Amino acid sequence: MPTAVHDPLLVANRLRPLLVRLARQLRRETHALGLTGGQAALLATIHSHPGIGVNGLAASEGMTAASISGHVDRLEAAGLLERARAGEGDKRRVGLRVTRSGVRALEDVRRRRTAWLAQRLETLSPDELRRLDDALDALARVAEVPL
């Protein structure tokens, strides 16, 4: 049901529960692969920033280094990431890297989530799909994510 006046507060009240539900459904697709949504997000961040340290990862995720360390330990034990010395300059600094298995897991997550979403989008009419596609640039600006 379209709003008579496109008031940002009214639009936000309609959009928020849809985004929450969509995110929940996409997380379920991740769980089917044996990963949590949080683990997949951490792997994606590490993959995008190879060599990032635990402190940097914690800062980027808005978590404490202590809580991130536990997640990193579990991902390392699962063979999805590895710790590596950063280099000659500081032998104490350890960077994180996604392993080949971790990259495959990320690819599987993306593929499964995309397939789930594409299947639902197929239920839309061509006009609905076009309008949704037209709204993606605006949503990307709101989310501060480049498309």
**pTM for this one?**
0.80
Domains located in the chain, CATH noted:
8-143 (1.10.10.10)
The dihedrals phi and psi of 97, each to the nearest 5 degrees, come to -135, 145
pLDDT by residue for the chain (147 residues), tens only, comes to 555 568 999 999 999 999 999 999 998 999 888 899 889 999 999 999 999 999 999 999 999 999 999 999 999 999 999 998 766 666 667 899 999 999 999 999 999 999 999 999 999 999 999 999 999 999 999 988 887
- Report the distance separating Cα 74 and Cα 80, nearest Å: 9
Contact 50, 87 (CB under 8 A): no
**Dihedral of the CA atoms 50, 51, 56, 62 (nearest 10)?**
30
- Report the distance separating Cα 146 and Cα 141, nearest Å: 7
